[in-house]
Amino acid sequence: MEHSDAERRRSRGRAALRAAPWLPGALALLLAGCASHPAVDAPQDTPRDAPAAPAASTTADAVAAASAATAAEQPGVVPQVRTTRVFDDDGLRFDNLLPAARLSGIERLGEGRYRVDIAPETEPVNPSAWYGFRIHADAPRALELRFAYAHGHRHRYVPKLSVDGRTWREARADEFQLDADGTARLRLQLAAGELRVFAQPPLLPEDFEAWSASVATGLGVEPATFGRSVQGRPLRMFEFGAGADAPVLLVLGRQHPPENTGTQALMGFVEALAADTPQARSFRDRVRVLVVPLLNPDGVVEGHWRGNARGVDINRDWGPFAQPETRALRDLLQQRGIGAGRVAFAIDFHSTFRDVFYTVAEDPSRAPDGVLHAWMAAMQAGFDIEEKPSAARTPVFKNWAFCRLGAPAVTYEVGDTTPAAELESVARHAARSLMELLPAAAPPSAAPACPRFDAG
């Protein structure tokens, strides 16, 4: 069957979705530029460095150069050393050369048994214990991996496995075990060739671009660059719907690198707004939608747990605006004249341990006659979703959107393990419910005082 370019881009974009033991490896990584023991005059079961394949090496060199440059600006960030480690006795190679990979060390514990050391980009950090690496086996063999995390962090994500980077599966119950003490073990029967092991299937900037282009093309618009990240990657957005003076629905995503399920929800939500249905067409006639699906591309490519290239949580920078990513979006809105009285609703997609929507306690639209109250009622009528209001104190996006733009604002959190079909169903229901409410609800005319909001 023939497929359009837009369909092929959409397919590529969505296909990507399907305690102390760390210290020796981390020290060796920093001091010797490798992930475990040095190879000089080493016994046979000690790993050695191997030259990387040219394509992978080029990618790794570019990422490493950018990492080193930004690490100089932010001394608290330890750049990940991209390398391949070879274990001749077992016929195995491990590397962290792929974009979004994170592997801090690897140590052979015995025949076919290894400890995988994972450290975050900085500390303290949110416990989003992201990891990713590639294994190459010379011949079929059994392999056992034990995960060890720096700074007392614990395993969070069930491993996702792929032989080609396109089709992924979750490790089965007979392959993955989480012990009572928090130790994670992965037991695999490897075939000859490559296997990728990641916390979640990596969704990279090019995947976001393919998806954005697909949706935008279907609406007769094009994605645009509105700024640059710390490492110089383009920050991309697209907008559609009513004219420049219409009320705005602001949709934001991927401030935190590991949060794949939040991205999946954002995609389902936006696709419902962009659908060729009477409801969506009518909505687009009256409301303008501005979508920023990936605000932290550097963090994604670097395999960071939380921060941008400087190790900064950009969802704590909505007030200080010390980072180029948040500044770029603030400046875009100012340039478009999108301020208080223009934003009808703001929604920021994330992932956490369960489905929960964070709202602003002071928001008057949470009252029984308000748009946020009505939307939450529609969501909770069909799904088990908790609302957690909190005072607008910290410089997170939802607080800034409420305090400076006057917008009803939600941090839309999706559980790490929420099934894809379920999270998409919830996201599309969220979009349809909002489309019923927003055209009749005028944006707040002014931003509130927010005396407790800490702008940094």
CA 87 to chain centroid, in Å, comes to 32
**Options 2.60.40.10, 1.20.1630.10, 3.30.70.260, 2.60.40.3120; which CATH number does 18-198 get?**
2.60.40.3120
Cis, bond preceding 124 (omega within 30 deg of 0): yes
In the structure encoding, which two tokens stand for residue 351, read together?
A: 């992932």
Give pLDDT < 70 ranges for the chain: 1-75
In this predicted structure, what is the pLDDT of residue 6?
45
- Whether 18-198 shares its CATH topology with 205-440 is answered no
Q: What is the pLDDT of residues 46-86, one digit of tens each?
A: 466 664 443 444 455 555 555 555 555 555 788 899 999 99
Closest CA relative to residue 322, chosen from 310, 334, 333: 310
Burial readout 341-360 (b: 16 or more C-beta within 10 A, e: otherwise): bbbbbbbbbbbbeebbbbbb
DSSP state of 275: S
In this predicted structure, what is the pLDDT of residue 253?
98
Residue pair 134/161 in contact by the 8 Å Cβ criterion: no
Tally of CA atoms within 13 A in the half-sphere of 366 that contains its CB: 15
Residue pair 86/50 in contact by the 8 Å Cβ criterion: yes
In this predicted structure, what is the pLDDT of residue 454?
83
Find the DSSP H helices in 1-73.
Answer: 5-15, 23-32, 54-73
Neighbours of 426 (CB within 10 A): 22
Superfamily of domain 205-440, CATH level 4: Zn peptidases (3.40.630.10)
DSSP strand pairing (234-241 vs 224-228): antiparallel
Say if residue 172 is exposed, middle or buried (CB neighbours under 10 Å; 0-12, 13-18, 19+). Answer: exposed
Residue pair 128/353 in contact by the 8 Å Cβ criterion: no
In this predicted structure, what is the pLDDT of residue 440?
79
Closest CA relative to residue 226, chosen from 326, 346, 347: 326
Domain range summary for the chain, segments of one domain joined by +? 18-198, 205-440
In this predicted structure, what is the pLDDT of residue 50?
61
In the structure encoding, which two tokens stand for residue 258, read together?
A: 């590991």
CA dihedral 100, 150, 46, 61 (to 10 degrees): 30
Give the 3-state secondary structure percentages of the chain, helix then strand then coil, rounded to 5: 35, 25, 40
